[in-house]
Amino acid sequence: MERFLSGESGQRFFNFAYSIGAAVVIWGALFKILHLPGGNLLLCIGMGTEVLMFILTAFDRPPREYRWEDVFPVLQSRDPEDRPDFGGSGGGGVIINGSINTSDAEASQGASPTHVTVSATSTQTAASTAPSVASQPEITDLASATQDYMAKMTEISSAMEQLRDTTAALNEVSKVLLESYRAITENSEGISTCSTGYVAQMEDLNRNIGGLNTIYEIQLKSVSSQLDSIDRVNRGIKDIRDMYERSSQQSARYYEETEKMARYMQQLNQVYEKMIHAMTVNMYRAPMPGAPADTVPSADSNPFPHN
């Protein structure tokens, strides 16, 4: 894993993952701020990506540092006058005297200049004594090795610039993430305030519902008492109806008895009529002596009419 993360593919993967994860986090923060659906999912995906990238960063191989001052002791000096001038083989210049230690195998195969160890012992800044101090082949080999070294240093500088650009990009992403987190925090405070108001409203609603339940309970009791009263009234009406039914039956009997009594009265009147008629007939038929004889009254002149 360290070899992959340290290679070009691993670095490219890091760049893509960091950029895409940061973009998803910013997008989720925008959804969260605008209260759009899906903000929590986007934040979880982006944050999960960043967490995974930070975990993988722990397995990244640290950059290898070379101690070039061991190869070129002149680099240990901070005096600009001590630095060599690689202007060519002719003319005045700084010549580095030393011995080159190489193995026989490297000498036969053409060893690379990067494997050459130069032990510098002194530097001289006299252009006039250069031919007497070092021979021309040694200067040529040293110039070639120096050119290779400069090429390597240029590559290292390019790599350092890329690392600096990557670090700057990571800093920008971190700033964006920080702003997103700050916005989320401020939004969370607003949500907390709204939640507090919502809780207060829910408490008021619970109290109102409790009052309504009390009123409903009182009304239910009143309705229950009214139902009892209505039940008693219905029982009284039922009793009255039963009384009316019995009264109708008794009224029928009373009507029958009344008819019977009317018939009996009629018969009694007839008997009385006959008795009166008989008494009046006898009274008109036996007049007193010396009195004029009265006429016998007819049936129409009966003083007791029929009933």
Q: Tell me if 168 sits within 8 A of 160, measured CB to CB.
A: no
For 207-233, what is the mean pLDDT?
Answer: 88
Compute the Cα dihedral for 168, 170, 173, 179 and give only its sign. negative
Q: Tell me if 149 sits within 8 A of 116, measured CB to CB.
A: no
The residue type found at 15 is: N
* Predicted pLDDT at 136: 52
* Predicted pLDDT at 111: 40
pLDDT at 88 over 50: no
163's CB contacts (< 8 A; 6+ apart) are 63
* Predicted pLDDT at 301: 47
* Predicted pLDDT at 66: 76
- Beta-sheet strands, E only, within 33-116: 95-101
For the chain, give the mean pLDDT: 72
- Measured torsion, CA atoms of residues 73, 75, 81, 85, in degrees rounded to the nearest 10: 90
The region of weakest confidence among 21-25, 49-53, 115-119 is 115-119
Tell me how far apart the alpha carbons of residues 42 and 33 are, in angstroms, rounded to a whole number.
13
CB atoms within 10 A of CB 4: 13
Structure token digits, residue 115: 């494997």
Residue 137 banded pLDDT, cuts 50, 70, 90: low
pLDDT at 119 over 60: no
Burial class (CB in 10 A: 0-12, 13-18, 19+), 28: buried
Tell me how far apart the alpha carbons of residues 141 and 123 are, in angstroms, rounded to a whole number.
17
Tell me how far apart the alpha carbons of residues 94 and 85 are, in angstroms, rounded to a whole number.
6
pLDDT at 94 over 50: no
